[in-house]
Amino acid sequence: MASGLIALLDDVATLMDDVSVMSKVAAKKTAGLLGDDLAVNAEKASGFVADRELPVLWAITKGSLLNKLIILPLAFVLSAFVPSVITMLLILGGFYLAYEGAEKIYEYFFPHTPLKQKDHLIELSEEQLKKLEKKKIKSAILTDFILSVEIIIIALGTVTESDLTTQIIVVSVIALVATVGVYGLVALIVRMDEFGLSLVNLNEQDDSFSDKVGRFLINALPMVIKGLTIVGTIALLLVSGGIFSHNIDFFHHLLESWPAILRDMLIGLVMGFITLFVISGVKKLFGKKKAA
């Protein structure tokens, strides 16, 4: 019995060692996408009145966890039996991410929603605020779903030669880090101004060190959010362009002499605006039919 227990512990130690090594490899492979995920979700979780930021972020986090619970078992099954379906889902997701990125650029130059800034949210009724909140949460969870698929598939691709147990543990660890790590950092970012205000109110002294740090954090938040909005938009286009170039032969051999980042950006941008115009045209067509 003792020898059996020792053999079992040895197997567990070997498994954990394999998991540790493969997790590091998978983390390196997905690091770029996790950064993109952070930028995209920080932008989506911002723009609410202060007392609603954390509840909205928690709602998105729960949606993200549910996404992982749906994606993980499906990814293992599809990867084992019908891997071509995963490629199709990735490409469809690429169209959505490209569309989101192109729509943000279009709205920047041709805004059609005048009350979008946080300062103007007070002008909306409670019902309008709830609708805006639900819309942004749904959009964030859908985007998270697509980015999660990409992260999980890339992580899975690093452990295809390992046994099923190692695959499940490694990919599940990466999925958990993608949720807890990313949304934990997002929570810190969106509450940066509140932390700054707490530092300002920490003591009654004027222009103390805590006051300077607090004011810096308060003043920096709008610039951080604006920067993340830009980075998040670029990330959407880069990720989508990368999906197209890695999974469609035509794009894979297109502009091969270009740096990958520029090529993926251009592909994401072009495909995004094509998708945007197609969807806008369909919406207008159906709008006219309903009006008639």
Give residue for tokens 């067509």: 285
Residue 27 resides in a domain:
yes
Residue 198 resides in a domain:
no
Residue 41 resides in a domain:
yes
pTM of this prediction exceeds 0.85: no
Report the distance separating Cα 78 and Cα 205, nearest Å. 62
Model pLDDT, residue 161:
67
Low-confidence stretches of the chain (pLDDT beneath 70): 1-51, 112-125, 157-158, 160-161, 288-292
Counted domains in the chain: 1
Question: Which pair of tokens denotes residue 248?
Answer: 């469609």
Residue 43 resides in a domain:
yes
The alpha carbon of 127 is separated from its chain's Cα centroid by a whole number of angstroms, namely: 27
Report the distance separating Cα 277 and Cα 100, nearest Å. 12
Model pLDDT, residue 114:
47
DSSP state of 123: G
The alpha carbon of 144 is separated from its chain's Cα centroid by a whole number of angstroms, namely: 5
Question: Which pair of tokens denotes residue 108?
Answer: 């920047």
Report the distance separating Cα 292 and Cα 284, nearest Å. 12
Report the distance separating Cα 159 and Cα 170, nearest Å. 8
Report the distance separating Cα 249 and Cα 225, nearest Å. 37
Residue 201 resides in a domain:
no
For residue 145, give Cα distances in angstroms to 72, 94, 120: 11, 12, 30
Residue 63 resides in a domain:
yes
Question: Which pair of tokens denotes residue 153?
Answer: 């598939």
Residue 206 resides in a domain:
no
Report the distance separating Cα 222 and Cα 275, nearest Å. 31
Full residue range of the structural domain in which residue 260 is found: 18-184+229-276
171-191 residue pLDDT tens: 888 888 778 877 887 777 777
Residue 245 resides in a domain:
yes
